Structures are given as structure tokens and as C-alpha cells.
Amino acid sequence: MKFFKYFGVCAIMVFSFYYTDQIANFVLEKNELYQKIARVKDDYQISSVSAVIEDKYITPGLNGSKVNVKNSYYNMKNLDLFNEYYLVFDEIKPQVSLEEHKDKIIRKGNPAKNNIAFILENDEKIKTYFQDKNIPADLLVTLDNYDSKGNFELINNDYGNYEKMESLLNNANLNVNLCLVNSSLETICRDQNKYLIEPLILNNTTFLNIKNNLNKGDIILIKKGTNLDNIKLLLDNITFKDITITTVKNLISESK
């Protein structure tokens, strides 16, 4: 009998909470400000963009956004007046998303983001220049050149000590889970569900070709020994084209 008594009390409580919530929603939906937000929400919706898959390669898509009517209302409630500045948005994931296709290789980010990214080999002169100029970049690291205090994002590139390097990055919360595609590491990276990156290769031989064919979304690996003057000219070209330099993680992210 006690069980049925307690069960009945619980059922009444659940029903009461549900009923109260329904009443609150009904009252809320009759509110003039709430109705105004609901009427205009579609005007602010941005559709997502699906990733593009071509054979073994993928170009990341972009999240869309839609108005969260209830949260927007609570954000404007004290104003009691509609103001688009206070709209609250939820992200809309792409129908074809990078996250479901991490077996594919990324050669570039979505060009709509107007970004470009650099990966650096361990060249002290180039590293120092990027640090002094506060230019974002990813750095290929091994146990020999690992430094957790730098301002680069770090990519594990230690063929012989991959697991040790991975542990260091994880412990320092510096693991961006990117992997440079090559014969030595690709199998390991696939097993660990990394983002697979195949960048353009910048050296003194390829400099002019990359400079003259620079595109939004490019991921460029600067090889050790590349002439710093050539790099400066490339950076000037990026500035001239009004492209923003970012990290690889941000470049391939589906967030806008």
C-alpha cells in the first residue's frame, strides 16, 4: 500500500510540474514581445553549408544559425522592447559534416571564412619572426623541440615517439588533434580519429607559385630553411588580399 501511495504522490507531482510548465508556455506565447520575436525569427536564420567531399578529400562546411525564441525573449524581457542585438541563436549543423567524415583528408578550409593558416617546421628564425609579429600558426613538434610555453598551436610530428609526444600534449591541454598526412603517421592518426591535413608545401622553389595562386582557405606548410624574405612577401600578399591569418583548428572549424 505504501508503494502505491508514494507512486501516486510522485505521479501527481510530475503531472503538476508538467501542467504548470504548459500553462507558463501558453502565457509566454501570448506575450507581445515573444510573438514579435517569433514572427521575425526566420528573417535572421542562416542556412548551414554542407562539407564538400571529392574522392578522399573534404572541404569543411559551415554551421548555420537560427533564433532561439524563448532565450531571446528572456534576454529582452527587462527592456520590454524588441532589439535584434539581444537575439540569442542556436547553431545548425551542416547536413554533411566534417565530424562524420574524419577519414577524409582536408587540403583547405571553407573559403567563405576568408582565412588562411600556416604550419611551421622547426626553424628558429621563422618561428621567432612569427612570434615577434604575433602571427598565428601551428608548429610541428617532436620531443626535441617541444615547448609548452610558446604561443603556437602544436601538432604532434614525432614519428619515433608519437605516443610520448601525444601524452605530453594531452597533459598540457595542447592537443589540437591534427595530423599531417604522410606515410609515417597517417595510419596512427586514422586509428586515433585525428583531423587529417594535407597542406601546400612552401619552400624556396614553390614560393612564387603559392604567392601567385593564393586562395582563401589555403593551409600552407613552411619548410625549414625557407627564405624569410620570401615569407614576408607572401604575408604582404595576404594582407593586400585582406585575408585573415588564423590557426588550422579555426580554419577547418564549421563555426563561423
Residue 81 has pLDDT above 60, yes or no: yes
Q: What pLDDT shows up at residue 170?
A: 95
pLDDT at position 159 = 87
- What kind and span of H or E run contains 222? strand 219-222
Domain annotation covers residue 230: yes
**Residue 21, domain member (yes or no):** no
Residue 14 has which C-alpha cell?
510530475
Last-in-domain residue among 61, 95, 129: 95
Q: 236 and 201 in one domain?
A: yes
Asked whether residue 22 carries a pLDDT value surpassing 80, the answer given is: no
* Better pLDDT: 245 or 13: 245
User: Does 235 reside within a domain?
Assistant: yes
Give 154-196 pLDDT, tens digit per residue.
999 998 899 999 999 999 999 999 999 876 788 889 999 999 9
* Contact in structure between 93 and 51 (CB atoms under 8 Å): no
Q: Give Cβ neighbours of residue 29 (< 8 Å, ≥ 6 apart).
A: 35, 38
The answer as to whether 153 is a domain residue is: yes
Q: What is the pLDDT of residue 106?
A: 97
Q: Say what the pLDDT of residue 246 is.
A: 98
Model confidence pLDDT, tens digit, residues 215-245: 999 999 999 999 999 999 999 999 999 999 9
Are 170 and 62 found together in one domain? no
pLDDT class of 9 with cuts at 50, 70, 90: very low
At a CB cut-off of 8 Å and minimum separation 6, what does 7 contact? Answer: none
CB 29 within 8 Å of CB 39: no
Q: Residue 233 belongs to what domain range?
A: 105-252
**For the segment 196-220, what is each residue's pLDDT rounded down to a tens digit?**
999 999 999 999 999 999 999 999 9
Asked whether residue 23 is assigned to any structural domain, the reply reads no
What's the confidence (pLDDT) of residue 211? 95
Considering its fold, how many domains does the chain have in total? 2
**Model confidence pLDDT, tens digit, residues 82-130:** 999 999 999 999 999 999 999 999 999 999 999 999 999 999 999 999 9
Same-domain check for residues 166 and 210: yes
What pLDDT, on a 0 to 100 scale, did the predictor assign at position 18?
42
CATH number of the structural domain spanning residue 114: 3.20.20.370
Q: Rounded to whole angstroms, how far apart are CA atoms 78 and 42?
A: 23
